Structure 1
Amino acid sequence: MNPVIALARAEVLQLLRNKTTAAMVLVLPVVFAAMFLFGPGAQDWDLAITMLLVGAQGLSVYISTTAAIAARRQDLSLKRLRAGELPDLAILAGVLSPFAVIGVAQCVLLTGVVFIAGAPVPDNPLGLVVAIVGGVAVNAAVGLLTAAFTASAEAAQITTAPFFFAGLGGAIWALTTATPWATVLPGGAIAALVGGGDVLRPLASLVVWTAVAAALGLRYTKWDPRD
């Protein structure tokens, strides 16, 4: 078996053993979906899809990735893996990939639920695909960066709050105003893509966020437990 795939498989088993992380990845996004689909304003489909994507990506990918990497560093798993033959990038890819795959799957499933509930098919389906894949990539990359400054899985509840709420705020900003500046934030870029407008500007925003966060995350990743 490919070492990265084997590491990813082990990460999935670790995730399922941790009830808190498993609930965040598997249960909370479903609760989030029910809140938007059955609450007031459920007929505002752009709002529903955008907030479902931003919320699911933030919970299942960003916060979970940050907590997982911090936990693996704290229990010395990362340090032991680094002593083996796998390069640093492969180790991090093995830890991150399960959350990225789960994030994409959840986004596709939740979007499908919205369509079943009556949402019209978007005029530009490509924008929705970019919103799902690009949003997951951004949240995984920023999760890696945030984990570098997170001492433990418990501390991730605090360190992830600014970016998580900035994502939600950016989405609301884009949904309630016509300013193109909202796409500077990942949440705003996702909202713009869901809305079916210009793809290039929000795509560029997501690519820049992903590239910068990944580069900084790789540079500042700590392999030994933080004080």
Structure 2
Amino acid sequence: MTTLAEAPSTPRRPSTAGRITSIALMELRIIFRNKTVLLGAVLMPIAMAVYIFYFGAEQMVGPSANAVMAGLTLMIVALLGVYLTATTTIATRREELFLKRLRSGESSDTVIWLGMLAPIVALVAGQLAIIAVGFGMAGMDAPARPLVVLGTVLGFLVLCATVGMLTSIYTPSAAAAQITTLPFLAVVIGTFFWTAFDDGFEALSRLTPGGALQNLLMAGWGATELDLTVAGAAVALLAWTVLPYLAAAKRFRWEKR
């Protein structure tokens, strides 16, 4: 009796989610092995947040003050932990030709970007969760509209990641990131404080990244009503997230100069 030989099974290709997870885990291992990146991505943001709270907690009473405290903390932690780290990481991986090797495989550009940036965003989101618990234990009032605050936090983290992608294009090395990231840092911090001044340009300030952030947090803590200005700030935050991504995707460099 003749038996038919079984055809050799074709190895299954990893799914898109599997590729993203693989790259993300690889990136996490690199982050935790690099003491400089680890200091910037984990310890420094938390230290800065504790410093702000320790010296400003007594003055932070009421919804508006709580929103300012939350905004300052989120801004510092996200800018240092996500924006600066993303810029430095992508620039370093490009110089090491790591990005070129990843792109030579089966993973798409989007998969590679997600794998590189997702662990950074997740790491900082975890830090913020711990900081939020600490602030609550210290007596800070909970937001009146937690979903607005949660959406604002996640949106700003992703914004910092996409702008980090764009900045990395103009960052030839990790050391250069200390210079190339300064303009955006100044824009966000400056426009955040701009919203505190009644100078007749409030509508314009809400269209900036820092102004949109603070306007949404004010609404989240109940200091302002949910109206069209808050909706405009949400659209502005979304635009500051999507437009840098589109620009970076179009001009992204996978090899060093």
Do both share a fold (TM > 0.5)? yes
2:172 matches 1:151: yes
Report the CA distance between 1:106 and its aligned residue: 2.1
Report the CA distance between 1:20 and its aligned residue: 1.0
Contact 1:21 1:64 in 2 (8 A): yes
Structure 1 counterpart of 2:27, which letter? E
2:74 matches 1:74: no
Distance 2:157 2:89 in 1: 16
Per-residue CA shift, 1:154-201, capped at 9, x if unaligned? 111110111012111121112344823222221211111111234312
Percent of aligned positions that are identical? 30
Give 1:38's aligned residue. 54
Contact 1:134 1:206 in 2 (8 A): yes
SS in 2 for 1:167: helix
5+ residue gaps, structure 2, are 1-13, 61-65
Per-residue CA shift, 1:199-220, capped at 9, x if unaligned? 3122101111111000001111
Contact 1:134 1:203 in 2 (8 A): no
2:50 matches 1:27: no
2:153 to 116, 127, 132: 132
2:205 matches 1:182: yes
- Quote the RMSD (CA, aligned, Å): 1.6
Structure 2 counterpart of 1:39, which letter? F
Give 2:10's aligned residue. none
Per-residue CA shift, 1:90-145, capped at 9, x if unaligned? 11111011111112222232223222221112222222112211100110110000
Shift of the 127–176 alpha-carbon distance from structure 1 to 2, 3 Å rule, reads farther
Distance 1:203 1:86 in 2: 32
Structure 1 counterpart of 2:42, which letter? L
How many residue pairs get matched? Answer: 226
5+ residue gaps, structure 1, are none
Distance 2:157 2:208 in 1: 14
2:218 to 195, 203, 210: 195
Structure 2 counterpart of 1:215, which letter? L
Give 2:250's aligned residue. 219
2:130 matches 1:109: yes
Structure 2 counterpart of 1:35, which letter? Y
Q: Point out the structure with max Rg over C-alpha.
A: 2
2:36 matches 1:13: no
Per-residue CA shift, 1:59-86, capped at 9, x if unaligned? 1110100000000000000011111111
- Per the normalisation by structure 1, the TM-score is 0.94
Distance 2:136 2:196 in 1: 19
SS in 2 for 1:123: coil
- Per the normalisation by structure 2, the TM-score is 0.83
SS in 1 for 2:195: helix
Distance 1:33 1:164 in 2: 17
Give 1:204's aligned residue. 235
Contact 1:49 1:114 in 2 (8 A): no
Contact 1:29 1:59 in 2 (8 A): yes
